[in-house]
Amino acid sequence: MRSRSRTFKNRIYAQFARVGKALSSPKRLELLELLAQGERTVEGLSREASQTIANCSRHLQVLRQANLVETRKEGTYVYYRLADDGVSRFWLELRALAEERLAEVERVVRDYIELKDDFEPIGCSELLDRLRKGEVVVLDVRPEEEYRAGHLPGALSVPPGEVERRLASLPRDREIVAYCRGRYCVYAVEAVKALRKHGYAARRMEQGIPEWRLLGFPLEVGGTAG
């Protein structure tokens, strides 16, 4: 009986370890975060993650073998996506655990993401309420491909580096809220800095599309930068 019990434990923990092994690479965690924004081609992922296509493909295969991602083919392109919302939720919980247990996480954030907010970053619930009241203008400052995959209702697509070029089209009589991929994405930080430099009232949403989606809040799909 003891031998049977040990065999069971060895086999079941070996299966759990497959997921742990798949998540043991920083590059694979970055790919999960990118895919939490929406499905992407291997080429698009390799570009955003600063990897060669060959290395990116190998990392994606490891994630696929652990059933964390799925694929579809369109012509000559292979598109990857998270297997389901459970994977997105697990990634956010893993990140939260690291934030809680590792002081180094906050030190890295302080070293690289410096934004002295006059106001606290706005949360998802407050932003949705203000959106419905027409009190804010929302900027999606992620790459346009991610905007098309899913964005906040009424959000304007202003891809990275485009904020200053678009200033003339932004109203000054309403607060502007910029969002990107989440807390560890610098696009929104850079956008808010640029807006404030030119006298706009601007804040950032600290969360990203994955948190917004998991809260069951509405998303729009499609559209282009205008």
The answer to whether residue 180 is catalytic is yes
User: Which member of 56, 124, 180, 185 is catalytic?
Assistant: 180
Q: Which H, E and C letters describe the chain, residue by residue?
A: CHHHHHHHHHHHHHHHHHHHHHCCCHHHHHHHHHHCCCCEEHHHHHHHCCCCHHHHHHHHHHHHHCCCEEEEEECCEEEEEECCHHHHHHHHHHHHHHHHHCHHHHHHHHHHCCCCCCCCCECHHHHHHHHHCCCEEEEECCCHHHHHHCECCCCEECCCCCCHHHHHHCCCCCEEEEECCCCCCCHHHHHHHHHHHCCCCEEEECCCHHHHHHCCCCCECCCCCC
Output the CA–CA distances (angstroms, integers) from residue 183 to 107, 113, 189, 207, 217, in the order listed: 14, 9, 9, 6, 18
Tokens of 174: 């309403």
Going by C-alpha positions, the residue among 209, 69, 214 that lies closest to residue 146 is: 209
Question: Which two three-digit tokens encode residue 118?
Answer: 């006059």
- Which active-site residues does the annotation give? 180
